[in-house]
Structure formats: C-alpha cells, structure tokens
Chains A and B, each alone.
Chain A
Amino acid sequence: MALTAERRKLEPWQDPKAAPYVRIDHVTKKFDDVYAVDDVSLDIYQGEFFSLLGSSGCGKSTLLRMMAGLERPTTGRIYIDGADVTDIPAYSRPVNMMFQSYALFPHMTVEQNVEFGLKQDRMPRKERAERVGEMLALLQISGLRKRKPDQLSGGQRQRAALARTLAKQPKLLLLDEPLGALDKRLRESAQFELVNLQERIGITFVTVTHDQEEAMTMSTRIAVMNAGQILQVDTPTAIYEYPEYRFVADFIGLVNLFEGKVVEVLGDQLQVESPIGRTIRMRTLHPHPIGTPVIVAIRPEKVRLCTDYREDGVNQIKGVVEDIAYLGDVSIYRVRVSPEMLVEMTLTNVLPRMEQDLTWGQEVAMEWSPNSGVVLTE
C-alpha cells in the first residue's frame, strides 16, 4: 500500500524510512529477582501521543521512568532523537516528566514551580518571566501564579504540573497517569484538552495509564503491557478490533471468548467447532491449519438479536438472559448459553428501557457476522 504524504505524517510508524524518535532496544529492568520490564523493544515516533497501557505492576511505569532517567535499565539501551541516553542522568536529559502525584514543590508558589526548571538552565531572568507567563497562559492558570500547591484544586494542580514540565520545552514529555487523580467528569474534558495541547505544541507525548478508555481517546498508538512485556503495539482501533492476544482482547473493553478447534478452512474464513455445541465461522488474518485449538473473540456490540434461529445455524447461539446492565445509551445483556458460559450482547436502547420486551429469564437467540471478530491462538 503506497503511503500518501499525509498518511506518512499522521502515521509515521507505517513509513519504513521514518527514524524513531525514541528507541527502546531490548531493555530489561530487574528489581532484585523480579523482572519489572522484560526485554522490551519499542519505537516511538516524533509527534506521537503514545500510551503504555496495562494493569498495575505490569512494568509500564518502570519503562517510563527509564525513559526519564530515574531508573537505569539492567540491560539494553535507550535512544532519544538518535542519541544513546542510557547512561545520562535524569538532570541532563532533554526529557521532562509529569508525575502521578504531580510532585509540585509544596514550599513554592505555582510561579516558582514553573520557573524551577528554567532556573536550572540559568535562563536570564527576563526571558524566564516571559516563559513562565506563556506557560501559565497556555494552561489558563495565570490567575493562580501566587498560590501554593495546597491552595489548588486537583485540576489546577494538574495544570500547574503540566506547565512546569512544558516550561523547559522538552523534546519528549512523559506523563505518569496524568489524569489519574482527577474525578471522572474532569478527566473526560482533560483528555481532550491534553490531546489538543499536544497537537498545538507538537511535542512527543508518552503516557502511562491503566485506564483503557483514556488510552483509546488520547493516543495515536497504544502499547499493551503485561508482566513486564509488551504484547501488542497498535492504533486504538486496531487494538480494539484486531487484538492479537487473548489478554489484549480481554483487557480492552468487553469480549466474548469462544474456545474451539478449527474444523474447516474456507478461503480466509475458518470453521470452528466450539465445545458448547455451536459452529462458528470467522474470518482470519492469519492461517490456522485444521485441528488447531483457537479462541474466537467477539465484542458484545457485534452480537445482535437473531430472528431466524436454526438448531444447526452457524454463528448463532441461544440462551437465557441472566443480567441486564442498563447504561442509559446501551444495555449489556448477559446471556447464559451453557452452564459454563455467558455471552454478552450490547444493544442500543432504541426504545426506552421499560418499553422493551427483552427481560430477565427470557430465552433469546443471538447471531454475529463472520467478519465481526478475530481468531486468536493464545
């Protein structure tokens, strides 16, 4: 596929000639005997909003701290803008980090906090004041310049911390759970703001988050981590629609996982026999020979009501509604299809909930199309 110039700019990772801005080369970090980060290699390109996503303890923060220079890799190298920075201490790296706790200096005002990094660079006083003013204006906290951190709200603190990290105009901005301390409503607006800010100033952002929605909303690409390793690096859509591992499929959003064996190969589609007695036909991106044990992953919103259920129907299943989670816009139905298995189905609430006739204990037939999911092996 030929890349257009536009595409090359928006998706530099597609361009084989593009040089990565941050290169993590076989990096391992051991704490005593525990591998926090286990042989990770990763390329991040200029202008990206890159997210490291994983549950707590998966090594994402350690990886970020190694980019900042706050931890040293046990083995492996880290390059930023072509230069090997592995042995360069944090205070000499052209990188700034926003801490999860914000780490604002409590004995300094917002202004002094923002100025701190500039003072370390021995920037002249006049220039310094200008830059501080710019940063405070950029984050709309000019009115708070004389306040101390404990006189700020959570959202204001986040802005002050962001202003402080941006003041030095770093080549790379690292954000450790940047929105973790904000309440849900504020978090949603802050997500968009952060993305707009990044697009405006053009600095490469790398964030760490455990919140998949946050990662999906903000990122150009997401790296899903588990147990110190990166499982998959892809765009939010690809991560969601084409997960490569059961863990990734399970971690991001809801998913129905049908275990089974390949019984027939029909072009790019596989026929899978599931132990719960149903036949599943699914398109596959990778060839799987007959007899391979596979997992078919189908998202709940891709499951729909079936009107022509047949006992030997392909991609059809029947069960009893056990739970209904009403979320306002959609409802998630959990349908018991076998003693061991529940299938989740998301339906848009086209009619008000009380006018719908699908309810608890009711038998329901469901179906999905052969290109609505993915076939996984592990």
Chain B
Amino acid sequence: MSWLPELKPLSERRLGRWLNIGTPYFWLGLFFLLPFAIVLHISLAETALAQPPYTSLWEWVGDGMLQIRLNLANYLLVFEDELYLAAFLNSLLVALICTVLCLLIGYPMAYAIATAPERRRVLLLMLIILPFWTSFLIRVYAWIGILKPNGLLNNFLIWLGAIDEPLTILHTQAAVYIGVVYSYLPFMILPLYANLTRLDFSLLEAAADLGCRPFKAFRKVTLPLSLPGIVAGCMLVFIPVVGEFVIPDLLGGPSSLMVGKMLWTEFFGNKDWPLASALAICLLALLVVPFVMMQRLEQRMGGDEL
C-alpha cells in the first residue's frame, strides 16, 4: 500500500504536538506567571534600605531550619487605608464612565465605517489608526496645550464669543475623561468594526421585510449580534484604564486619585516596593472579575441562551 502517506513514528509526532501546544504555555509562563510570582513575592516582603529595597522571605536560621516570613501588613494597609480604597473605587468609576463614553462615541463610528463603501473604509480605518504613529506620551502632552487656560480650546471659545473667561479644564477630572476617551477610542472602535463588518446586512433587510422599522431592527438584530464586539471593546478600554497612570498624572489634578498613579508614587516616590506590589496584586485580582464575566458571556453566546 505504497499510496498511503508514510506515518512518522509515534514518539516523533508526540514531540511535535508538545512543541506546538507548549510554546504558548512557555511564553505565558516566562512573561506572565514568573513576573507575577516575583511581584507576589515582593508584596509579602518588608521594605528595607537595601538593593533591591525589600527583605528576603526566607532565611536559614541554622540547625537545618528554614524560616519563612510572610508579611501581610501591606495587604492589610491596602484594605484599611481609606486612601487606597478611594483610589480603587475612583479608578473603577473613571474606567466605567470612560468605557461607556467610548462605547457611545465608538459604536456609531464603527458602524459608519463598517457600512461605508469599500474604498472609503480603508481610508477611515487609517484615520483611526493614524494617531498610533505618534507616541502616546506626546499625544497626551499635546492635550495640555489644547486644554490649558490660554490653550487652543479656550482661545477658540473666546474668539467665538462663547465664553469671556478661560475655562479651567486642565488638571480637573474632566481633562482626565477627555484624555482617556481620546486615547482609548480606537481600542473600542477596532473590535466593534471587526464585528460589524462581519454582520450580514441581509439580516436587516429580512427584519425590514418582516415589518420591523429600522431603529427596532437595530435593537433586535444588529445590537445582539454585535455583543461580542461590544464586550471585547469594553474590556480593551476598561482594563487598561483602571490602571492608567500617564493621563491622570499629566492632565488630572492633584485630587484625581487613581490606582496607577498611586502605584507609581509607592514604587518610585516612596521606594516602598512591597506595598506597591500588594497594590498591583489587588488591582490584578480586581480585573479578573470583569474578565471572567466576559468569558461567561462568551460561553453563553455559544450555548442556547441569549
């Protein structure tokens, strides 16, 4: 039976399969699990005036005794100090508001691009992606120039005659919202666009044919079918915004408490690596919740519900 393809020996095939499946695990292990273990390790240590600035968790104390000291004080502090709690809640609130704003602005934009003629679609997508060609930091700095008291926006509004005195926008919470929505809008638009281009528009025609008016057809057909895109976009905005540091630091005022900024201060300002690590671990735990929710939803979409 020479026409049958020759099979490789079993051991060789098994090796190939291991390599195939093992690569992403290796990657995740090296670049996610290991750093996570290090951060977890630091969060349980104590600060020390040393290099690195924390104590070791274990110590040989002679007689074959290994002493392990776990310091939970950092975690207790995170939960007891109202400042940290407020920072967490504020971060979540800012992220939530920004996600909703991004969705409200991004959905119509994504829909418009997805329904535009093929030729124009490429151009419109380019315009969405174009800002990425400039450094994120520079774009956020540019907003200072726009929002400051004698900046572009205020001068323009005064020139229009809409206001007499410059508005204080910079270093307020509003500036943070503007900056975040501006920066994260593409992350909302792109997954939504990817979802909406796959939408079969004959479904909307079928809805119309069955007596459904356009807005209702959108609610009954387009919206539920684009739910995976909405979820993906919201996750892509919500998760990084919770930990966002640069935008609140540059555009926000001294009162804009956010976890990211706090982390930065603890790490670099106070050199308190263990506390900063405990904050980071808490933040991570907090973000696992929406992620699990998304996975649940995806499973449900695949199943019989919805």
Contact = CB atoms under 8 A, between A and B. Distances in A.
Contact of B202 (A96, A101, A107, A164): A101
A96 B306 contact: no
A103 to B, nearest CB: 4
A91 B211 contact: yes
A183 interface: no
Interface in A41-90: 68-70, 89-90
B7 interface: no
Nearest to A176: B202
B193 to A, nearest CB: 19
Interface string B181-214: 0000000000000000000101101111111111
Chain A CB within 10 Å, residue with most, of B209, B224, B306:
B209
Contacts of A96: 209-210
A121 interface: yes
A120 B209 contact: no
B210 A164 contact: yes
A309 interface: no
B221 interface: yes
A245 interface: no
Given A105-B221, A106-B225, A107-B224, A168 B211 contact: yes
Interface residues of B, number: 20
Contact of A89 (B200, B206, B207, B208): B208
A302 to B, nearest CB: 43
A243 B220 CA distance: 48
A116 interface: yes
A106 B210 CA distance: 16
B304 interface: yes
A104 B200 CA distance: 10
B205 A91 contact: no
A103 B206 contact: yes
A28 to B, nearest CB: 21
Interface in B211-239: 211-214, 216, 220-221, 224-225
B207 A116 contact: yes
Interface in A128-174: 146, 148, 164-165, 168
Given A91-B209, A96-B209, A165-B209, 13 more contacts: A69-B208, A89-B208, A90-B208, A90-B209, A91-B210, A92-B211, A103-B205, A105-B203, A105-B207, A107-B224, A117-B210, A120-B212, A146-B304
Interface of A: 68-70, 89-92, 95-97, 99, 101, 103-107, 116-117, 120-121, 146, 148, 164-165, 168
The 7 A-B pairs of least Cβ separation, nearest first, read A117-B210, A120-B211, A103-B206, A90-B208, A103-B202, A91-B208, A97-B209
Interface of B: 200, 202-203, 205-214, 216, 220-221, 224-225, 304, 306
12 contacts: A69-B209, A91-B214, A96-B210, A97-B209, A101-B202, A103-B200, A103-B202, A103-B203, A103-B206, A107-B306, A120-B211, A168-B210
